[in-house]
Structure 1
Amino acid sequence: MKVVIIGGVAAGTKAAAKLKRENPGDEIVIYTKGKDISYAGCGLPYYIGGSIETEGELIVNTPRKFMGLTGTEVHTGSEVVAVDPTAKTIQVQGNGIETVSYDKLVIAVGAESSVPPVEGTSLPGVFSVRTPEDAISARKYAVEKACKRAVVVGGGFIGLEVAENLMARGISVTVLDMASQLMPNIFDGEMADYIRRRLQEKGMRILTGTGLNAIGGEEAVSNVQTSTGVLPADMVILAAGIRPATRFLADTGLEMDRGCILTDEYQRTNLPDIYAVGDCCLVRNRITGKPQWSAMGSTANIAGRALALNLGGEETSYQGCLGTGVVRLADNLNAARTGLTEEQAKAAGYQVISALCVTDDKAHYYPDAGMFITKLIADADSHRLLGMQVIGGGAVDKMADIAVVGLSMGSRAEDFITMDFAYAPPFSTAIHPFATACSILVNKMSGRLASFTPAEYASGAAEEYRLIDAHPASTLPGGEWIDLARPEAFAQKHAREEKLLLVCARGKRGYLTQNKLRALGFTNTRVLEGGSTFNTIKKALPVGGKLPPEEIKRVKGLGCLQDKRYGDVFNVRVITRNGKITAEEHRCIAEAAERFGSGEITMTTRLTMEIQGVHYENIDPLIAFLAEHHLETGGTGSLVRPVVSCKGTTCQYGLTDTFDLSGKIHERFYEGYHQVTLPHKFKIAVGGCPNNCVKPDLNDLGIIGQRVPMFDYSKCRGCGKCQVETSCPVKVAKVEDGMLKVDGGACNGCGRCKGKCPFGVTEEYIDGYRIYIGGRWGKKIANGRPLDKLFTSEEEVLDTVERAILFFRDEGITGERFADTVNRLGFDYVQDKLLHAEIDKTAVLEKKVKGGATC
């Protein structure tokens, strides 16, 4: 039997290899238009990011290797352009047109990138991510062009994987999608929204509900024009979707639905002896039995193997897909799903009930323990499990695989509760997290648990409920705290029919509180599923409109400073890169000021921008709005503070590009050390010359551009009027006894004397930087003292800044400024540490430090 296979990636090569093993005597021939076969399509984003280092690692099998292993005949660079089902032939275009006959034909052409129909998609710097060539070109471009800003069009699995990997290369990334959420039809809205918030916290800018209008640029891409504004971009990744590569089959008589070939459970099409498998065809949903497109490498391989068995004479049905998927979204943020979403289950006619819970992913005391956020969807009538979604830092795939088995077997939620899952502290909890999630769902279906889902809460279902804080200690602003150990005291103050929303960190204490209140006769309590860990709690002012001191301290840590004239009004600091922001960011801040504040904006001395007059209840919406536009608030606390600098090279005296250097310091130490607590605040300033306009020597660490003269006194002629002496602004150059003399210790390295001597005394200079440590302004002003070394490169400066921060964290005392640390330990000791000593960065960062800054 001669079996011809069109397509040589996942499904095609899998079917060929298995069929050749089953029937070695069959003639198996693959035609594929690409140069590669059996490549790792799912690994392309990780090649772009560098996790996969070499191009060769993307190729699972070369044509030569595959033919040698399997005995299959492979023709690359051979595009099938026509199929004649009646004659049982295909037309192949390679060096010419060839007609090839078949006994059985397998169509495994896969899918191709769906390029949006807008201008600019062919510009250099615009890439799809479908083939190894795409990934290789994108990575090469990012490196060679030193790309700093990327726009990824599409918020699905591939788009987010590419975004994560571009960020790993140090590129600032914006993801945009036309849908109202990330990963539509993959995750339910509240799960996708949690993922969005987490990714934005990690620095990824996400714009949903945003259409792509055009890609702009002259010789290469420079911007992306969207329905909500223009985004600067050095490169663009198009990951907005794929479509079956089946256009050449339009006149064959094959039954298709929107380009997808229709097949039965044996991969048979409506035409005799023609089969289809992989991304080019529809399969069945294993739960609903309805046709579904499952463009996944796993589906292609599984179905390809089943097809090979069918062709080999062993009738094997592919029983359908569950839409299972898993994705790494960022460091310590993974997500997986399988089965139906809540909306899909409702559309299929089920009486849907869901439960969301937050659990430990392994024994809580184990060093790398994290959490799972699990959402289960079930049929309320039969209790049959219909779907699962999970987010966490660990093995979310294990949770998904357990669900896959249960869904495939038609299991009920109750069936999982007593299953004998593996347990040891490094791997799981004593009661498996999946079993715990099922127990919570069963409690809800049985009525033991009365709750609001996060989606219900977000839609306003709890607006008439009093917020009850069920944390171990008072935590929620505006909430009334209940002591779980003394519920009777709470019961004395409330009517038994009062509507109470019980909110704790994850949901467990809320459930325990509900049980105790029920025993005391309360009839209208609801637990918020996922608690404050998953939900954004809508804050309310306490009675009287006054915020407790601990809440004022908390929001201050977010960069929100209280207007002392009012109890609930704040000025919110927006971090800038040394006062420099884009026109689009200006517009965003202005809109935020109008929507959430008084409409006024001020600049601070640290070159941050403050939105004035923000009422307390508007703080969270304001911060969320800014995050959507890649802006953040902050600049308070025992941390590295926003960096300031003078105008640098735009000043007539400027010796160095202070904007560039301060930008690098901002990125590496304000952003990079944003979660590193120090004994007190740590302020950094960069001055472009010794004029000290931004007072670098009054900061914890100051950097001043230098142009140090290397005088050649042998050329001095002892002029009656010395131009060097005349030009010296600090008057340390003098002619004495017919010769120029300069006090090197008093020279401030301003470089103003460069070229002033007509005989060449002042021609040679060393450009560099002085670093001052231990400065401070405020109530106890202290002038910093320069380190003895002249630093001649930015990398030396950046290394010393980091060493100073680590030294302060390691040897500073809580509550003391860096100036106090220098005075306590002695300048010479600190200088030696910064210039010569070895510093164990890992050990210092692992050390527990309590901050002492109050503003």
Structure 2
Amino acid sequence: MKIAVIGATHAGTAAVKNMAELYPEADITVYERNDNVSFLSCGLALYVGGVVEDPQGLFYSSPEELTAMGVRMRMQHDVIDIDTNRRRLRAKDLVTGEEHTDTYDKLVMTTGSAPIVPPIKGIDLDNILLAKNFRQANTIIERAEKAEHVTVVGAGYIGVELVEAFKQAGKRVTLIDGVDRILNKYLDKEFTDVVENDFTERDIEMRLGESVTSFEGTERIEAVVTDQGKIDTDMVILCVGFRPNTGLLKGKVDMLENGAIKVDRYMRTSNPDILAAGDCCAVPYNPTGGHAYIPLATNAVRMGTLAARNLEEPVMPHVGTQGTSGLHIFGLNMASTGLTETSASAMEHTVESVLVTEKHRPEFMPTSEDVQLKVTFEPESRRIVGAQVISKADMTQAINTISAAIQGNMTIDELAYTDFFFQPHFNQPWNFLNKAGLAAQKTLVRRGKQAVS
């Protein structure tokens, strides 16, 4: 069996390692544009901020390791065309410029995602940088040494993490986003208000609900112009989101409108010879039962592993995802899973929520931090479909628990009486997850909706 793999970050590396073990007789070739594999981009801000001093710790594999497993590594090779009818691809060596063709029996697409670069006037000015791969991280570190004011465009996870890194490095920082809240894809307003207030207290300038209209400068960035004003700056980091890198298969396999490849629960595309995994894919999304584009490293490694296992025949289905993620910013620990009220509204999915606010452990303990938990559920089915938490105490593992609850179709009634331990060092006698379930029950009882036995 001849296998071609395009892309070797999270999904690709996981797929290749597993394929090398499962199919030792297979002829496996990897095509990768970069000179490295498996870069943990989720650690990029930690590297930029100096928390991670040795960048090698951000790689969990290498071309040498995969070569030693019998894999042919075509590093710094760009696949420029795929003929799915003939099962043939054409690739260009980015070092020599030479092109060659190759054939495959099975193709595994793990091409990942690419940063969105908006078509804004002045976008090509020097010191307007992207934040995705290892090379870009090194460029940010190098340029930041001479920068006094940094403007971050995009208030998602990477954006706010970079804001923290630059602020701790003593820079003046401005954060711009076209939406009126930061982290709006992951958290509802009750939670983002907490983070925004903390940013304000740290003299971080937030220009929310503003759209960048142009960048100004002679050769180098000097100012960012928005629809509401102008910000003088000497460095800009664009973090406005990612798009699936799937142009090679456009019109050749089924995709969502944004270009994400649709796969079944065995990572198979609509073409029987092609599997796909990672950030180039739309994943089965348990809260709604449909597909969703959720570019997370955790999704990618699971999908890559499954692509390898299901390469010859469907043997192990994907259990679906909840889009579970966490974040640590300036001492605040937050995490979310599934639908927020914001995302549910955008999807026109009817939900209700309950908010629980309490101390994370008994107040007779020497210290006790505030914790805020929100659980979102469907009022008719009573099924849990999402949750969010924030606290100075690390209560984020509760969101992993809710993620498992969503995957198992747990109701708020079951959550109310689930068995959780109590120990004063860690929690309250009534676990706050139980309390959320009880609160949801009371909400529905007031409307005459009793639990179904």
Match in the other structure for 2:115: 113
Deviations 1:587-627 (A, max 9, x none): xxxxxxxxxxxxxxxxxxxxxxxxxxxxxxxxxxxxxxxxx
Change (3 A) 1:349 1:124: closer
CA contact (8 A) 2:156 2:185 kept: no
Task: Give the TM-score normalised by structure 1.
Answer: 0.50
CA distance in 1 between counterparts of 2:223 and 2:306 reads 47
Compute the displacement of 1:73 (Å): 2.2
Compute the displacement of 1:347 (Å): 5.9
CA distance in 2 between counterparts of 1:92 and 1:81 reads 5
Change (3 A) 1:363 1:2: farther
Alignment partner of 1:376 is 2:375: yes
Letter in 1 for 2:123: T
Match in the other structure for 1:361: 360
CA distance in 2 between counterparts of 1:280 and 1:128 reads 19
Deviations 1:15-53 (A, max 9, x none): 111122222222222111111101111101111111111
Match in the other structure for 1:295: 295
* Correspondence 1:687-706 to 2 at 5 A: none
Compute the displacement of 1:367 (Å): 4.2
Alignment partner of 1:338 is 2:337: yes
Match in the other structure for 2:403: 404
Match in the other structure for 2:141: 139
**The residue matched to 1:311 in structure 2 has which SS?**
coil
Task: Give the TM-score normalised by structure 2.
Answer: 0.93
Change (3 A) 1:364 1:332: farther
| Larger strand proportion of the pair | 2
CA distance in 2 between counterparts of 1:255 and 1:415 reads 37
Letter in 1 for 2:319: Q
CA contact (8 A) 1:114 1:243 kept: yes
Percent of aligned pairs with the same amino acid: 28
Deviations 1:358-384 (A, max 9, x none): 122234344453121111111222322
CA contact (8 A) 1:32 1:75 kept: yes
Compute the displacement of 1:314 (Å): 5.3
Letter in 2 for 1:408: Q
* Correspondence 1:579-618 to 2 at 5 A: none
CA distance in 2 between counterparts of 1:408 and 1:170 reads 43
Letter in 1 for 2:297: G
Alignment partner of 1:164 is 2:169: no
Structure 2 residue aligned with 1:103, among 102, 105, 122? Answer: 105
- How many residues matched? 445
Runs (5+) with no aligned partner, structure 2: 448-453
Letter in 2 for 1:14: A
* Correspondence 1:788-807 to 2 at 5 A: none
Alignment partner of 1:233 is 2:242: no
Match in the other structure for 2:279: 279
CA distance in 1 between counterparts of 2:243 and 2:359 reads 39
**The residue matched to 1:166 in structure 2 has which SS?**
helix
Compute the displacement of 1:434 (Å): 1.8
Compute the displacement of 1:251 (Å): 5.5
Higher relative contact order by CA 8 Å / sep ≥ 6: 1 or 2? Answer: 2
Change (3 A) 1:375 1:86: same
Deviations 1:687-729 (A, max 9, x none): xxxxxxxxxxxxxxxxxxxxxxxxxxxxxxxxxxxxxxxxxxx
Alignment partner of 1:315 is 2:343: no
**The residue matched to 2:28 in structure 1 has which SS?**
strand
Match in the other structure for 1:216: 216
Compute the displacement of 1:256 (Å): 4.9
Change (3 A) 1:362 1:256: same
Note the aligned Cα RMSD (angstroms). 2.1
Letter in 2 for 1:235: M
Match in the other structure for 1:626: none
CA distance in 2 between counterparts of 1:178 and 1:350 reads 24
CA distance in 2 between counterparts of 1:15 and 1:222 reads 44
Letter in 2 for 1:352: V
CA contact (8 A) 2:320 2:407 kept: no
Alignment partner of 1:427 is 2:426: yes
Letter in 2 for 1:103: D
CA contact (8 A) 2:321 2:407 kept: no
Runs (5+) with no aligned partner, structure 1: 449-855
CA contact (8 A) 2:417 2:434 kept: yes
CA contact (8 A) 2:112 2:244 kept: yes
Match in the other structure for 2:44: 44
**The residue matched to 2:376 in structure 1 has which SS?**
strand
Letter in 2 for 1:113: P
Letter in 1 for 2:259: G
CA contact (8 A) 1:30 1:73 kept: yes
CA distance in 1 between counterparts of 2:383 and 2:28 reads 43
Match in the other structure for 2:55: 55
Deviations 1:482-532 (A, max 9, x none): xxxxxxxxxxxxxxxxxxxxxxxxxxxxxxxxxxxxxxxxxxxxxxxxxxx
- Larger CA Rg, structure 1 vs 2: 1
Compute the displacement of 1:183 (Å): 2.2
CA distance in 2 between counterparts of 1:314 and 1:291 reads 19
CA contact (8 A) 1:267 1:276 kept: yes
Letter in 2 for 1:135: A
Deviations 1:141-191 (A, max 9, x none): 112x1x221110001111111111111111121111111222233222343
Compute the displacement of 1:81 (Å): 0.5
CA distance in 2 between counterparts of 1:376 and 1:447 reads 18
**The residue matched to 2:170 in structure 1 has which SS?**
coil
Change (3 A) 1:171 1:323: same
Match in the other structure for 1:242: 242
Letter in 1 for 2:76: G
CA contact (8 A) 1:279 1:300 kept: yes
Match in the other structure for 1:270: 270
**The residue matched to 2:433 in structure 1 has which SS?**
helix
CA contact (8 A) 2:319 2:407 kept: no
Deviations 1:659-681 (A, max 9, x none): xxxxxxxxxxxxxxxxxxxxxxx
CA contact (8 A) 2:108 2:307 kept: no
Match in the other structure for 1:523: none
CA contact (8 A) 1:286 1:321 kept: yes
Letter in 1 for 2:118: P
Compute the displacement of 1:107 (Å): 0.7
Match in the other structure for 2:451: none
Letter in 1 for 2:106: K
* Correspondence 1:389-468 to 2 at 5 A: 389-447=388-446
Change (3 A) 1:157 1:228: same
Match in the other structure for 2:450: none
Change (3 A) 1:48 1:416: same
Letter in 2 for 1:379: E
Change (3 A) 1:307 1:35: same
Match in the other structure for 1:261: 261
CA distance in 1 between counterparts of 2:362 and 2:79 reads 55
Q: Which segment drifts farther, 248-257 or 179-188?
A: 248-257
